[in-house]
Structure 1
Amino acid sequence: MLWLLFAGQLLVAGEWWADMEARLGHAVAATVLDGDTLLVPDQATFYFGLGTPNALGLHLDAGCSTRLILIPTLLVGALFAGFRRVGAVRLLLATTGTVALLLTANVGRLLIIGLGTMGWGRETGFGWAHSFSGPIFMMVMLVAALLLNLRILLGVRLAFPLRGTRDGKTSPKTGKGNLRRV
């Protein structure tokens, strides 16, 4: 039930989440990027590269924040809690791990945008980083987060079936050698 309440709160009044992501993005930009940075408190906006020709501000609205990705993650946790026997510790670990991975990935995406902008300018760098490489990076991280979530919730190993070595024994179904984990 707690997961449903948190998902509803993120949907209805999740500006605080975007503001927190902007604060984290600002901290990383201040550490890594050239120029000065500026955080606009309570507006989910930060500026980087101030004093350079490629200064830019980023405002994290609902589409730039991970909050819309987190809502389905929390709903999956609520479904597992409701329809499958999953311990509270396992559910809490899966959700915490997924949220942490997605939050870190989004801050990494903001850094990719900053590096692209500072390296190739506002037009080209921001365009490619914001419209191409950033979304691809987030899609890869979303798949990784879903696999992590399922790995922890189900307690199974999600490995590719072709990993391992042949053990010399023949499978009755396929007639081929069995794979054994290494």
Structure 2
Amino acid sequence: MTVVVLLAAAAGLVLAHRLYRTAEISLSGAVLALLSSDGVHVAAERQTVYFGLGSDTPLGLRMTPECTSAFLVLPLLVVGAVMIALRPRIQQRVLVALGVAALAVVIVNQFRVLTLVGLVKWLGVDTGYYWGHTLLGSMVSVFGGAAALVAFVWLATRK
């Protein structure tokens, strides 16, 4: 039954990725509103968070399908389902590992968005967006995703 639920959740992430992105950008907007005195507005229906409203350089960040953490959580769900199908007795460990790793991936993606916002504020829109989106943001995602994968494997397979 757990295997079916995990595979259904994986399919749900693919089919309803727009809803997931809406939730994810809403979380980004809430975090930005807590950390910033600049105007922050979330346009959830467009998966966009606007910041710097009222300043000379407002910017909107749109959570596109390739920028969401959904497609980093997806393989964890599938691998978790396969691991449980092959070895049902490790179900509890796999579910805990899956929860930890999925949460880590979501947090890393939020950190990536905040890094991008910080660089835009520090270096300006053109330079900050370039460095935040293409280089540093990618590094955050790669290293964070790798750390989440290592945590998943370690937690799921330890005795």
TM-score range, shorter chain: over 0.9
Q: Secondary structure at the match of 1:52?
A: coil
Residue aligning to 2:153:
150
Q: 2:33 pairs with 30, 33, 37, which one?
A: 30
Residue aligning to 2:11:
8
Unaligned runs of 5+ in 1: 157-182
Q: How far apart, in 2, do the equivalents of 1:85 and 1:34 lie?
A: 50
Higher strand share: 1
Residue aligning to 2:131:
128
Q: Is 1:52 aligned to 2:52, yes or no?
A: no
How many residues of Structure 1 are paired with residues of Structure 2 in the alignment?
156
Q: Secondary structure at the match of 1:63?
A: helix
Residue aligning to 1:39:
42
Q: Is 1:116 aligned to 2:122, yes or no?
A: no
Q: Secondary structure at the match of 2:67?
A: coil
Q: 1:127 is matched by which residue type in structure 2?
A: Y
Q: 1:77 pairs with 73, 80, 83, which one?
A: 80
Greater relative contact order: 1 or 2 (C-alpha under 8 angstroms, separation 6 or more)? 2
Q: How far apart, in 2, do the equivalents of 1:26 and 1:94 lie?
A: 28
Q: How far apart, in 1, do the equivalents of 2:150 and 2:48 lie?
A: 31
Unaligned runs of 5+ in 2: none
User: Is the CA contact (8 Å cut-off) linking 1:33 and 1:115 kept in structure 2?
Assistant: no
Q: How far apart, in 2, do the equivalents of 1:26 and 1:153 lie?
A: 33
- Residues 86, 115 of structure 1: alpha-carbon distance in 2 compared, 3 angstrom cutoff: farther
Q: Which residues in structure 2 correspond to 1:53-68 (within 5 Å)?
A: 53-68=56-71
For the pair shown, the structure with the greater C-alpha radius of gyration is 1
- Residue 151 (structure 1) shift: 1.0
* Alpha-carbon RMSD: 1.3
Identity of aligned residues (%): 26
Deviates more, 1:91-100 or 1:31-40: 31-40
Q: Secondary structure at the match of 2:124?
A: helix
Q: How far apart, in 1, do the equivalents of 2:10 and 2:89 lie?
A: 19
